[in-house]
């Protein structure tokens, strides 16, 4: 984890303990999307057809759970890149409730149906594995397979990590937490250690479930990811 630290992550652990019976981060039964963010309503500048494609491939933390169409990770990351003068198209390939197994099954379909070969895939799955108590060995194997597939296709990756909640115990954490840094090292991909870094400890940045970021929280995530995305994109972008 980055600056959030283990002490602050305990807050997330308590929330997960309360919400584990749901068995998934973002079920299919979602309340209506929020449309309160006036800034999100601004018309985004047109993106050229040949702009580099970035696919954000993850679960509800990527999908924009309970958020408006312009408030999720993909649109906010695209906006953050634009503010830095970097033109890129960020595609939302997040599915609420997805486990690593589900992501592994749909990865080839998403890549095969992309309008262009991605310049980068941002990969972030595993939170639902943790909520469901799926064995870390399965989580590792599925993420490993996805990274291997992306490497075979010569697609750069930015891997975003997750941490096991403290209430799951040290045995689980000792197996789950090393998955992300070890796979990032194995495949030599860019790595953002904790997707909710600097967000989960601030209630003003989280939805009422204390599991998902609100629009302002997603903005913090997007701003944290933007420099790593920019480093991975072609200079011409």
Q: Within a domain: residue 86? A: yes
Residue 80's nearest CA partner among 219, 212, 216, 196 is: 219
Residue 86's nearest CA partner among 57, 48, 59 is: 48
Q: What is the C-alpha separation between 108 and 41, in angstroms, rounded?
A: 33
Q: Within a domain: residue 43? A: no
How many domains in the chain?
1
- Going by pLDDT thresholds of 50, 70 and 90, the confidence category of residue 2 is very low
Q: How many CB atoms lie within 10 A of CB 192?
A: 21
For the domain that residue 106 is a member of, what is the CATH number? 3.40.50.1110
Q: What is the C-alpha separation between 142 and 148, in angstroms, rounded?
A: 10
Q: Within a domain: residue 32? A: no
Can you give the pTM of this predicted structure? 0.85
Q: Within a domain: residue 57? A: yes
Q: Quick one: pLDDT at residue 234?
A: 76
For 211-220, the pLDDT digits (tens) are 999 999 999 9
Q: Quick one: pLDDT at residue 43?
A: 58
Percent of the chain with pLDDT over 90: 76
User: Which of 19-33, 43-57, 115-129 is predicted with the least confidence, judged by mean pLDDT?
Assistant: 19-33
Q: Within a domain: residue 26? A: no
For 70-100, the pLDDT digits (tens) are 999 999 999 999 999 999 999 999 999 999 9
For 155-190, the pLDDT digits (tens) are 999 999 999 998 999 999 999 999 999 999 999 999
Question: Are the C-beta atoms of 47 and 78 separated by less than 8 Å?
Answer: yes
6-10, 40-44, 213-217 — most confident range: 213-217
Range of the domain at 64: 5-20+51-232
| Active site members | 60, 209, 212
Whether the pLDDT of residue 38 is over 70: the answer is: no
Q: What is the C-alpha separation between 150 and 110, in angstroms, rounded?
A: 12
For 53-64, the pLDDT digits (tens) are 999 999 999 999
Q: Within a domain: residue 174? A: yes
Q: Within a domain: residue 79? A: yes
Q: Within a domain: residue 169? A: yes
What is the rounded average pLDDT for all residues in the chain? Answer: 86
Whether the pLDDT of residue 47 is over 50: the answer is: yes
Q: Quick one: pLDDT at residue 55?
A: 98
């Amino acid at each position: 984890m980055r600056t959030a630290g283990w002490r602050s992550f305990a807050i997330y652990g308590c929330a997960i303990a309360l919400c584990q019976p749901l068995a998934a981060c973002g079920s299919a039964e979602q309340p209506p999307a929020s449309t309160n963010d006036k800034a999100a309503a601004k018309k985004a500048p047109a993106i050229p057809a040949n702009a580099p494609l970035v696919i954000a491939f993850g679960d509800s933390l990527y999908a924009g759970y309970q958020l408006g169409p312009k408030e999720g990770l993909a649109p906010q990351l695209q906006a953050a890149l634009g503010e830095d003068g970097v033109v890129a198209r960020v595609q939302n390939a997040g599915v609420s409730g997805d486990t690593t197994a589900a992501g592994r099954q749909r990865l080839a379909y998403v890549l095969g149906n992309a309008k262009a070969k991605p310049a980068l895939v941002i990969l972030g799955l595993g939170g639902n594995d943790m909520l469901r108590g799926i064995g870390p060995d399965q989580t590792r194997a599925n993420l490993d397979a996805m990274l291997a597939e992306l490497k075979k296709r010569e697609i750069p990756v930015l891997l975003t990590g997750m941490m096991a909640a403290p209430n799951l115990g040290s045995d689980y954490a000792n197996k789950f937490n090393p998955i992300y840094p070890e796979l990032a090292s194995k495949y030599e991909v860019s790595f953002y250690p904790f997707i909710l870094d600097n967000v989960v400890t601030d209630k003003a940045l989280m939805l009422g479930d204390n599991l998902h970021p609100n629009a302002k929280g997603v903005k913090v995530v997007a701003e944290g990811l933007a420099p790593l995305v920019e480093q991975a994109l072609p200079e011409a972008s």
